[in-house]
Chain A
């Protein structure tokens, strides 16, 4: 059905297609690591191919292949919405090598490449946001590599220190939050000067915000000290 895709690719790219196969009707072409993005762009832009639908990107680990050949296979599967044909493109990537990211061609590759990075440790150049996605960032090792034992235990990680977060909402009673925590110690000692801002104004414990100059408002102060999560 999609024999045309392979022959078209061969015609356009010639020697860049290293190998083709059609095991059980799945058309597959092997390309070099350096041609990865060029092939992807051709697949998407060529009017005869028009592979606009991103299907999947994944990897397979073959550690025994080293050092003669790179360790990982990365596989891209795409299909064409208009022509209803699909193809699988395969390349080989070594442990220390990087592969060009395809997020610019198909935005759907974003999470797929993040998952490959998370599970296999393959890095993608020019990926906008290459973080771990299923595992946490302190996770050690890459779980889908063959040399990662399935029974391996991970170390406990300490609490994350995030700058800019000193206190958690709800804020204290002095910050003008009507739902603030009640300081019972202060209240019992008759020093609790405010329950809610509105009540505070009524009791004469604090001025109206609107009567103060804008630069000195408590709203401003609250904004300056509000927690910003700088992860």
Chain B
């Protein structure tokens, strides 16, 4: 087609609209991950203002929790951050155990650590792969998702489900670890490291990738802290806040690992931080597998809170009664309210739970890390170009299920 203004002599005389253009992006937009609507005010291609509207995946997690027993929250918790469901399971179990004051056996804590860190690896692999894919680099996505699938195979071997495990229990885990856990996990790590290395080789010297991530979507340290950001989004600005280091829960004080931080708070830092955290997770799992006792109980012996073994349920009256009471009435934590927080895939995953002493939660509040990271996304996007929304939004790793609950 011929150029429109081919013989335009004086370009300055052409008047373009000066008022900002309003553009609606999402929710049915592939880069919005299907669940976010952004109303953009554009000046040319520059984002002047953005109104981020979540809520398209709101399923009433908190309301639904208020009508079942405490144990029935686990399937819902799976569906919060569905990229790393095991971390939510562990986070909720720890919250209720804190409310009760229940101690779990050492073997269970190590088992939770291993499965949780595997879930974190899945989370970061997915996020980094998707970020690269949205920038047009499809190959790293396929490599990273391939190894994620192999990790899912391990999780399936352990829990019976690939994605929604519902494997956490209050006072333990649903099943003890399988015998081949350590072998399969250690066998997968060279593959994960290889896939990461190959992806980094493709991306880290790629001019297009660097131009679209470096100095794009920047967030200052002060704003990130005041906006309530946690996780990689906060650490990429140079703050070394990791719940596992700052307030060690489970046995994270026994492991030797580092907290990777960035310094610019841009997309590139978030991307590199995620890969580095993957390596630290691998390091943690190696140590946890070494320290984990090979035998012993996984569940706490407290019959008021923990389901009895199936063998006891079918063969003894005590087991039957305990099982019946736990299923029909639910376990009854003491009256009170606690806030328990763990390091989820995206940052501080907190559960604020209120018990009125009955078998049903009075209030379960999930503090989703995505929620506050997404609120800060407005600052990252304002002033950047419209095409920068894609890498920026991808690198904060917004998970709809967790953000909207």
Rounded to whole angstroms, the CA-CA distance of A150 and B65 in the bound complex is 11
Would you give the shortest CB distance from B206 to chain A, in whole angstroms? 32
A154 in contact (CB, < 8 A) = no
B1 touches A108 (CB 8 A): no
A56 touches B22 (CB 8 A): no
A209 in contact (CB, < 8 A) = yes
B225 touches A214 (CB 8 A): no
A229 touches B24 (CB 8 A): yes
B160 in contact (CB, < 8 A) = no
Q: Could you show 16 A-B contacts with beta carbons less than 8 Å apart?
A: A24-B98, A24-B99, A53-B225, A53-B226, A53-B241, A54-B225, A111-B372, A111-B375, A134-B404, A135-B55, A198-B4, A217-B14, A223-B16, A223-B19, A227-B22, A229-B22
B7 in contact (CB, < 8 A) = yes
Given A135-B58, A196-B1, A210-B10, A77–B247 Cβ distance below 8 Å? no
List B contacts of A55 (CB < 8 A): 228, 341, 348, 350, 367
List A contacts of B365 (CB < 8 A): 56, 58, 60
A107 touches B227 (CB 8 A): yes
B339 touches A26 (CB 8 A): yes
- Count of residues in A whose CB is under 8 Å from the partner chain: 52
B354 touches A209 (CB 8 A): no
A54 touches B9 (CB 8 A): no
Given A197-B4, A210-B8, A210-B9, A144–B63 Cβ distance below 8 Å? yes
B82 in contact (CB, < 8 A) = no
- Count of residues in B whose CB is under 8 Å from the partner chain: 63
A123 in contact (CB, < 8 A) = no
A228 in contact (CB, < 8 A) = yes
Given A75-B352, A107-B223, A223-B19, A210–B336 Cβ distance below 8 Å? no
Q: Which residues of B line the A interface, CB within 8 A?
A: 1-10, 13-17, 19, 21-22, 24, 39, 53-55, 58, 60, 62-64, 66-67, 98-99, 101, 223, 225-229, 239, 241, 246-247, 336-339, 341, 348, 350, 352, 354, 362-363, 365, 367, 371-372, 374-376, 404-405
Find residues 170-203 in chain A having any chain B CB closer than 8 Å to their own CB: 178, 196-199, 202
Q: In the complex, which residue of chain A has the Cβ closest to the Cβ of B223?
A: A107
List B contacts of A110 (CB < 8 A): 375
A150 touches B367 (CB 8 A): no
Rounded to whole angstroms, the CA-CA distance of A227 and B63 in the bound complex is 39
Q: In the complex, which residue of chain A has the Cβ closest to the Cβ of B335?
A: A23
Given A110-B375, A150-B67, A210-B14, A56–B247 Cβ distance below 8 Å? no
List B contacts of A24 (CB < 8 A): 98-99, 101, 336, 338
List A contacts of B3 (CB < 8 A): 198
With beta carbons under 8 angstroms apart, the residue of A53, A115, A135, A222 that contacts B228 is: A53
Find residues 22-56 in chain A having any chain B CB closer than 8 Å to their own CB: 23-24, 26, 52-56
Rounded to whole angstroms, the CA-CA distance of A184 and B330 in the bound complex is 68
Q: Which residues of A line the B interface, CB within 8 A?
A: 23-24, 26, 52-56, 58, 60-61, 75, 77, 81, 84, 88, 106-108, 110-112, 115, 119, 133-136, 143-144, 148, 150, 178, 196-199, 202, 208-210, 214, 217, 219-220, 222-223, 226-229, 231
